[in-house]
Every structure is written in structure tokens, then in C-alpha cells.
Structure 1
Amino acid sequence: MSTLLRPDPVHHEVMAPDGTRLHAVSVSPRAPRGVVVLVHGVTMAIPFWHRQLEDLPDDLLVIAFDQRGHGMSGRPGPGGISLDALAADVEAVVDALVPPSLPTTLVGHSMGGIALMGWAARSAPCRPPNVRGVVLINTVASQIVSGATAFIPPRLAAVLMVGLLPAARSPLPLAPGSAPALTGLIDLLAMGPDRSREDLTLTTRLLRGTHPRSRAAFFRFLAELDAESAAAQLDLPTVVIGGRCDRITPLAAATRILDLVPHAELHLIDRCGHQGPLEASHRVNELIRQAALPSSHDLVPSA
């Protein structure tokens, strides 16, 4: 979409069931044909989706929100980080911002994909009929730490286990002088060979901008995660996107999701690391649009 024609984003505040305030933005053409809801990963925020917010509103209402403890959303209280809490946040955003007459596709990257697995379990008894599909990008259903360390060189695995993970799980601010080392580790672990300097800079900035206590709590949550039973309840058409150079959620994680999710198809992107929506935005956007744009007979009838 041309910058001159692109509508300005509209900012929203949504309240989660436990009272956590969620910040969201939406961008819409005059007559959207469908809706896409974007859910980012751990230590990211709405700016992570900037290429989707720029490109997809040609014909789609695009909604993105900061997950609890991230970006401009509120930090949850004690016990406020769980799979069900993340799922409830997705549910709250969909209920508040998605027009029920438009076919809707939920898109999750990394921990955002995990939140959508939780949403599948939470919403199973009474799923909104306009939610027609899901896109899972660079994500995993369980064993995120052991899965990552099994597919990287031993020396790099040692750096991850001894250096990066303890720092990430600590509620203390990152040391001011740690920026170059952190950027290097992110480049090694999260990026593929074709990443741009802009992609790396944005990823590092968003990680460093996450509140230390939120960052620590979420990394502890992910280390103990098992969302496989939730993923098995995702009975909607599901597109799974993986990067062939993803060291954090490698190919084995994507194929495991195929085993769990009844109606899933896999797309692998060459030379792409963990940050697919940044590194391979053109291909990712193409796959999102294919999943989200309905045929004429798919329109949701008015109640």
C-alpha cells in the first residue's frame, strides 16, 4: 500500500479479564474483506509487525496488540503469566475489536503462536464463528530450551545455557555495556543469513525495552511450557511457517506442530531465521494474505 494512501493506525485500550490493560492498534482500508489479528513473541511488541501493518491493510483490517508485560500494555500481577492468561488476552482483543461479520485469521509469532494454542483450548467450547483460520510462525508447542540447544553447535549451546538464558531470566536490568554482546548473540541465535541491520537493531531494541521483571517472568514461563494438549485442540485450518535457519524453534518444532494440529500445512522459508515476519516479510505476508482473504462464499452471514 502506498504511504500516501495508507490509513493512520487507530490506538485502542482493551481490558483483559484479570484487569491487565492491553494496548492495541488497528489499520483498515475503507472496505476490508477480512481481519488479521497479530500476536507477537516474547520481548517483542507492536513495532515488530511494522511490515505487516504497512502491507496487509490493502484489503484487510489488521489488528496488533502488545502482549501483557510488553510494549505499552500493563504488567500483570502475581500469577498473571500463564498459558490461559495469554489466551484470555487474545480472546479479549478479538471480542473488543474484531467485527463479527468479517472472516478472521489469527497470526502468532513464537510466543504469540503459543498464545494462540492456548486460545484454541480456552475457546473450544464456544469459538467465534468468524475466526476461520490460524497462522503459526516460528513457534513451538513444548521443550523450547531443549529443542533449541539440540540443533545448534555445542559451543553456541553452552553460551545460550550459561550466558543468555540466565541473563534473560534475571529480573535485573541488562548491564549498559552488554549491548554489543547481546546484539551478537541475537544475531547468532535469532537471525538468518539474509537479515538486514534494521531487523537486528529492531529486535535488540525491543528486547532491551522489555521491563526486566516481565522479561524474566516470561522466560521462566517458556522454559517450563508444555502447550501440546492445547495445540491438539486447534481444529481450524492452520498454516505453519518455519525458517530453515531458525535455531530457536527449529524444523523439528514445526513438524511436531503438524503432528498435533489436525488441519495444518507447513511452509518453510529458505535462509530465514527465527524472525520470519521481519526477515522474510514478503513471503510471510503472502502466506498470511492467502490464509486470510476469503472467497465470496466464505463471508460470515449477519446474525
Structure 2
Amino acid sequence: MSALAESAAVRHAYFSGEAGEIHALEFGQDSTQPPLLLLHGVTGSAWIWHDVAQALGRRRRVIALDLRGHGQSGRSASGRYATDDHAHDLARVADQLSAPVIDLAGQSWGALIAMRYAGSHPGKVGRLAVIDVEPSFEQAEDAIHPRPRHFKDIGEVMDWERSANPPTPESLLALWARHSVQPAGHGGWERRHDTFFFERWPFRRDDLWATLPSLHMPSLLVHGKRSFVREPVMREMAATMPDARLIVLEDCGHLIPLEAPQALAALLEEHFA
């Protein structure tokens, strides 16, 4: 498997979180710009951001986090995985960075976490990017579409991910497939996140509509045209936020950092300049 050889130069970092360590991938170096933190969605990890972070890291320090319960970050024994729990972890990471201001980009659940943090920490977030999410949900938190838990080899992981996210560049697909799983105790490979997320997605309880008017920082909303996220809802979000604009990527689904990394990196580079 050649996935690891495709990775850009990256540093691993660990921060103290409420449920254990928070693992992160770091790209780039400190600059005059605030550090840019990237947050993934449910069942994802920092590696989803690899190509985007590599591009953005040419000019600044970029930190992609593994949310608690995902990737190499700690698990919550009591199942404390609400959006507020993740926002508390983000606050602890921001404090440990000792930066007066940070920039934030979140995809799906990561965007909800970013908005929750930005709304409760006025003046701490310089610029914000919200990628393919709605601020409230009609589905129950336990209404989860079945996903495979176990794979016999990495090739099988790649086949599944390719079918789920067909536009993804092959090198990024291989990298994500390898880092989305871990060796299973009974042989083969299993998903690298808490099994809790096969049963419940706590963010389905969220309603952030009342938070949107308080997000005064310049904000970019990005929507994938083929996503299940509804474009009219994201347009209403942009209209509700004081300083926001929406960009729609035509040939893209929900996992935009995987499916359209170059286009997303270009949008983020312009927005966070």
C-alpha cells in the first residue's frame, strides 16, 4: 500500500482535551496570519483535510484536528459527544495555541462546532468557513444509514470509499482509505472512530439558527451541488449571517475536502488571505 508515500510533510501534535488527548496534523509554519484550524465531520478525521491543508500550509500554519472519538484522539467513556463537548475541546486547543485570534473552517459537524465556538467566543475567530451543513435537522440522532464496520483489506476500504465519493483524486482516496481504518483484533480492518457513531449522531439535536446573527466575522459558506444538504437552506444561512457569502461547487457531493480539494483550497486561500 503506497498511501503513506503520498502524504505531504506533516507534523503530528497533541493537545489536552476534556476526554483525553486531541490529535492533530500540522502543516506549514507560523506566520503573521492567525493559525487556521480545520474540523472534519462525523466518522471523519484530520486526514480528510490532507490535500487542502497541504495547499493552505504554503503560506501559514494549518492545524487539522481529530475530533474526540475520531482518529487518534481520545474516546469518551461516557459518550459525551455533543457539539458543545467538541466546542469545549476546541476552546482548550485554542487556549493552548496562545494565539489571540484563530481562523476556523469546518465541514459538516465540524462546521457546527466552529459556529458554536465562534458564537460563544466573540472576537476570538477572525474568519470562518462553513462547509456543507444545515444548522438544524429533521432526522433523529439514531436514524443512521448503515455503513460497513469491517473490511478484509485496504483495497476493500478503497472500493467502498470510491463508490461513496467518486470524484476524489486517487492519491487522496488511497491516503484517506488507509487512515480511516485500523487493524481489527479479529483480523482485517475496522473504522478508526468510536463505535458510538454507528448508533448515534448527537449533532442531530442541534439548532444553531439563533447563533447565526451573532457571527459577525467574515464568513464563507461552501455547498456541494450534489450533496444531500439543501442549497436553499444554506442560502438562508448566508442571508441570516451579518457578513457571509455562499459559493456552490457544481460537480461535488457532501465531502468537499475529499471530492474537490483543489477547488476548496483555492476558495479558502482567498477567503482567509
TM range, smaller chain: 0.7 to 0.9
Equivalent of 1:139, from 111, 133, 138? 133
CA distance 1:186–1:133, shift in 2 (3 Å): same
SS in structure 2 opposite 1:289? helix
Equivalent of 1:215, from 197, 202, 208? 197
Deviation at 1:200, TM superposition (A): 5.1
TM-score under structure 2 length normalisation: 0.79
SS in structure 2 opposite 1:267? strand
CA distance 1:49–1:176, shift in 2 (3 Å): closer
For structure 2, the 5+ residue unaligned runs are 1-6, 182-189
Aligned mates of 2:235, 2:167 — CA distance in 1:
24
Aligned mates of 1:39, 1:276 — CA distance in 2:
13
CA distance 1:271–1:230, shift in 2 (3 Å): same
Deviation at 1:145, TM superposition (A): 4.1
Equivalent of 1:288, from 258, 265, 268? 268
1:206-285 pair list within 5 angstroms: 206=180, 209-216=191-198, 219-247=200-228, 249-285=229-265
Taking every aligned residue pair, what percent have the same amino acid on both sides?
Answer: 24
**Alignment deviations for residues 227-286 of structure 1 (CA, whole Å, 9 cap, x no partner):** 322334322111001111112x23134223224322210011111111212222122111
CA distance 1:166–1:235, shift in 2 (3 Å): same
Bigger shift: 76-85 or 24-33?
24-33
SS in structure 2 opposite 1:214? helix
SS in structure 2 opposite 1:11? strand
The structure with more helix, counted as a fraction of residues: 1
Aligned mates of 1:55, 1:221 — CA distance in 2:
32
1:1-303 pair list within 5 angstroms: 8-16=9-17, 18-29=18-29, 31-78=31-78, 80-97=80-97, 99-100=99-100, 104-124=102-122, 127-128=123-124, 131-143=125-137, 145=139, 165-167=144-146, 174-176=149-151, 191=165, 194-198=167-171, 206=180, 209-216=191-198, 219-247=200-228, 249-293=229-273
Q: Which has the larger radius of gyration?
A: 1
User: Contact 2:225 / 2:248 at 8 angstroms: preserved in 1?
Assistant: yes
Coordinate RMSD, CA, aligned: 3.2
CA distance 1:11–1:181, shift in 2 (3 Å): closer
For structure 1, the 5+ residue unaligned runs are 1-5, 147-160, 294-303
Deviation at 1:220, TM superposition (A): 2.9
Query: Which consecutive aligned stretches of 4+ in structure 1 deviate over 4 angstroms post-superposition?
Result: 179-188, 197-205
Aligned mates of 2:45, 2:213 — CA distance in 1:
27
TM-score under structure 1 length normalisation: 0.72
The structure with more strand, counted as a fraction of residues: 2
User: Contact 1:240 / 1:267 at 8 angstroms: preserved in 2?
Assistant: yes
CA distance 1:25–1:187, shift in 2 (3 Å): closer
What is the aligned residue count? 256
**Alignment deviations for residues 10-48 of structure 1 (CA, whole Å, 9 cap, x no partner):** 3222112x3432112322236454421111111111111
Counterpart residue identity of residue 12, structure 1: A
